[in-house]
């Protein structure tokens, strides 16, 4: 069902009403998906409705308030007013995912030949990956549905290879809060940046980028209660959780639209350099040659993202923790890869 435009402009309603803007999503909401205001283009007509998340009344009830309707134009003045009010993200009903992907895709198409990517281009690129992944996870043909994200990864590789994307902007691409989607997008971006930095050929950049995006899809087949449990997991629960690389591999296999290497990397993303990882406990020589990069990036991003039950580590603390992690047979992460990754981070 299409939503109608609100009769009053949003800023007026916020100022006049008993509304407080909810700035950070505390929990994942399945009905509404956050979209940074920066990803929206002033002067363009929207192809989906926008809402803001507010806390209303004395009982602090969280509601979604209509902001702009499908077909409305987002004018610069509104955008600035919203930002001034502390609204840095708006919300889109989940049913409009295809329209959001198309809207962001159009922006990237227009910018494909730009000499240098802007901060906004980078935010649009990140959101395109995020929404494409969400959309892909809703379809039975998951691997095929990843096509829009694949295109965007190509776009990022091309931009980095011809230095159209200043390296400092790459860090703007990374999300700060953990969800399955934000972590996946972060690992995909880090993977493409790392491979390009090391001058790997394009197919390797894409293989690892796609693996970054899809490495945890197996988690969608594990019950939510287990994933969000605040208490420590029991040995049986750990056993269940450790099945997610195999579950992800099974979800993606048998589809020609993904490189074979990507499938193997999804299966191996928790393998460690000393053979103490899972699910197979493979030592380094028996792993895919890119697994050592993915396992490091996945662990680094997991440590530096904020989660409600623990503080996030600084990049420095995360790198130290990775360097110190050892199994019975030696370092858990390849020291040579870690050294190169520190070089990449020093571009920040």
Binding interface with Fe ion (CB under 5 A): 216
**Least distance from C-beta 215 to Fe ion, angstroms?**
6
Asked if residues 272 and 322 have their Cβ atoms less than 8 Å apart, the reply is no
**Least distance from C-beta 298 to Fe ion, angstroms?**
6
From CA 100, how far away is CA 262, in angstroms rounded? 26
Question: Which residue, 22 or 270, has its beta carbon nearer to Fe ion?
Answer: 270
Q: Among residues 5, 77, 86, 79, which one has the least CA distance to residue 53?
A: 86
Question: Which residue, 212 or 261, has its beta carbon nearer to Fe ion?
Answer: 212
From CA 68, how far away is CA 7, in angstroms rounded? 10
Reported as half-sphere exposure (CB side, CA atoms, 13 A), residue 273 has a value of 19
Question: Which residue, 67 or 267, has its beta carbon nearer to Fe ion?
Answer: 267
The token pair at 3 is 């939503």
**Least distance from C-beta 277 to Fe ion, angstroms?**
11
**Least distance from C-beta 71 to Fe ion, angstroms?**
41
**Least distance from C-beta 213 to Fe ion, angstroms?**
13
Q: How far, CA to CA in Å, does 8 sit from each of 13, 18, 44, 90?
A: 7, 15, 20, 17
**Least distance from C-beta 270 to Fe ion, angstroms?**
6
Q: Which residue's C-beta sits nearest to Fe ion?
A: 216
**Least distance from C-beta 219 to Fe ion, angstroms?**
7
Collapsing DSSP to helix, strand or coil, 290 comes out as coil
- Which residues are 63's β-sheet partners? 54
CB atoms < 10 A from the CB of 168, how many? 10
Question: Which residue, 216 or 271, has its beta carbon nearer to Fe ion?
Answer: 216
Question: Which residue, 37 or 265, has its beta carbon nearer to Fe ion?
Answer: 265
Question: Which residue, 204 or 216, has its beta carbon nearer to Fe ion?
Answer: 216
Burial pattern 48-65, b for ≥16 Cβ within 10 A else e, equals bbbbbbbeeeeeeeeebb
**Least distance from C-beta 152 to Fe ion, angstroms?**
22
Burial (CB < 10 A; 0-12, 13-18, 19+), residue 288, is buried
Question: Which residue, 216 or 301, has its beta carbon nearer to Fe ion?
Answer: 216
**Least distance from C-beta 269 to Fe ion, angstroms?**
6
From CA 230, how far away is CA 310, in angstroms rounded? 10
Q: Among residues 281, 225, 215, which one has the least CA distance to residue 245?
A: 215
Question: Which residue, 121 or 216, has its beta carbon nearer to Fe ion?
Answer: 216
Q: How far, CA to CA in Å, does 13 sit from each of 16, 202, 203?
A: 5, 50, 51
Question: Which residue, 216 or 334, has its beta carbon nearer to Fe ion?
Answer: 216
């Amino acid at each position: 069902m299409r939503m109608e435009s609100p009769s009053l402009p949003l800023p007026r309603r916020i100022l006049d009403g008993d509304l407080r803007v909810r700035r950070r999503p505390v929990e994942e909401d399945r009905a509404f998906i956050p979209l940074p205001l920066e990803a929206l283009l002033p002067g363009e007509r929207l192809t989906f409705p926008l809402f803001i998340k507010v806390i209303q009344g004395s009982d602090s009830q969280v509601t979604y308030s209509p902001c702009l309707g499908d077909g409305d134009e987002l004018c610069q003045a509104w955008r600035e007013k919203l930002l001034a009010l502390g609204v840095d993200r708006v919300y889109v009903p989940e049913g409009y995912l295809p329209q959001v992907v198309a809207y962001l895709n159009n922006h990237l198409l227009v910018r494909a030949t730009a000499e240098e990517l802007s901060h906004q281009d980078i935010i649009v690129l990140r959101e395109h990956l995020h929404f494409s992944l969400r959309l892909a996870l809703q379809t039975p043909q998951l691997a095929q549905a990843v096509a829009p994200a694949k295109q965007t990864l190509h776009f990022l590789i091309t931009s980095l290879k011809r230095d159209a994307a200043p390296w400092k902007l790459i860090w703007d691409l990374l999300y700060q809060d953990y969800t399955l989607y934000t972590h996946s997008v972060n690992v995909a971006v880090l993977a493409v940046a790392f491979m390009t930095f090391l001058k790997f050929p394009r197919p390797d950049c894409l293989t690892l980028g796609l693996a970054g995006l899809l490495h945890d899809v197996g988690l969608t087949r594990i019950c939510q209660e287990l994933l969000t449990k605040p208490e420590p997991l029991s040995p049986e629960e750990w056993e269940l959780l450790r099945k997610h690389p195999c579950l992800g591999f099974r979800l993606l296999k048998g589809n020609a639209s993904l490189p074979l290497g990507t499938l193997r990397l999804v299966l191996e993303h928790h393998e460690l350099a000393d053979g103490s990882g899972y699910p197979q406990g493979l030592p380094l020589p028996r792993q895919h040659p890119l697994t050592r990069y993915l396992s490091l990036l996945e662990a680094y991003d997991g440590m530096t993202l904020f989660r409600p039950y623990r503080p996030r580590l600084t990049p420095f603390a995360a790198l130290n923790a990775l360097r110190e992690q050892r199994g019975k047979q030696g370092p858990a992460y390849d020291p040579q890869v870690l050294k190169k990754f520190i070089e990449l981070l020093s571009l920040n």
